[in-house]
Structure 1
């Protein structure tokens, strides 16, 4: 049995890891496939004829001309709106799908950016050592010292001052978060490289005259991939929480676009918090499910790659 098959076998024996995988599969299907079957749009506002009780979509221009038509805000759960409508008259269930989609995309994008920067710099620091290692590690320490949340608040203020549109803001936040969160990855990869470069097969690779990039990316990094995968999985859950926190504070994705964080933001209004659990509780539970799933998968991968560490 190959090492890869052994890892898969050990992973499949971990019940929590399988539970996390099932939860994550269901969440991805809900967020990315669900919108294709939803009869409503992400920004669609619903109105109600106060006389007849008939619901009218914002796209029904003729219906909106009727007298006594008002926004159907905070509608209760029903067959038409499974989770009711929010304080702006939009379908909560539909926005939950789009919000989860945005939050997952955000988390994956930030993780990819941090891995590209962190793995590259960490690999070079560990391989070359000496002054190169010292210089890169000083940069790592600088980035560790930057207070993340105050910095994001400042960045958000700058984006507002420069008039950056809400739909573009999320991409700037992805880039900034990725750029400022690579230090942990770089330090971890550096430690792996320092160990691997002293192995016999690396001495043989140097003696064979292989180029530095080939030594690093073909022979050293593959041996660090298990650790990188585990760390990336844990970071995915962490960045979901970070995005939700930023959106909750008004720094993340702005109205009318949906994210799990700005949906939970409705809890800031005491009336909604006490009387309309259907508006803010579902996105909160979805955040919990995603973070738990990523953590279960990460723990399962760690135990599968390093069964001795579990003992």
Structure 2
């Protein structure tokens, strides 16, 4: 029989459980500075809310819910995120992905074959990857902003029964950092392995290594007490991934990981790797109880 603690931990793994209240956005016109401040404030409140829920302090969680609603809720956060990804502000991280897989897309041009992409946390149906006919994009988000984006929690998405339900590429662009629980981030990465496939028709002109496109705020890996680029590589390598592309800007880190090897269960705890008073507490915890789904 499942214990109360196990049930609570399972519930905390769901993205939807950490989802803040949705409120009508105050405005879609925000300056770059206001956009950054809104996003930072939202993440700070969301983290505090998650901690309150984890400790059972529902009064504090309700108070933080009220603050989140006052700031416009999830809708305002998504508007700010979309503005940050606009071409006018140098956004749309999928442009980097499209550039990296350009050679494969060129070979698929003028053929009926398409690579299946799962975009988690999708904000738009008109980003760079959506404009490529060689990509068949499935978009999901906790709070769908437009038709073409399925309202769904990835952690509750039904497990695939066959390769037809899997994807050649999964996009996690500024999603992992949205999860307020370090253990939930590890669970999401493990779950991605289950949804990847390299199966394509025998006459397809390209071979495809199942891949994970990962985008994180740069401070998550270069200014955290608990996560460094080396530790991130150790975590993903243990899951069978090999990094093939990497790029950094002043604000973001972009990585492309190909899944080439078997998953080798290995736990990663929250431990200080880079101490300092000015560092943040972003971390990824991985449990070693991974059970692969039979393909």
TM (norm. structure 2) is: 0.27
Q: 1 or 2, which has the higher helix percentage?
A: 1
Q: 1 or 2, which has the higher strand percentage?
A: 2
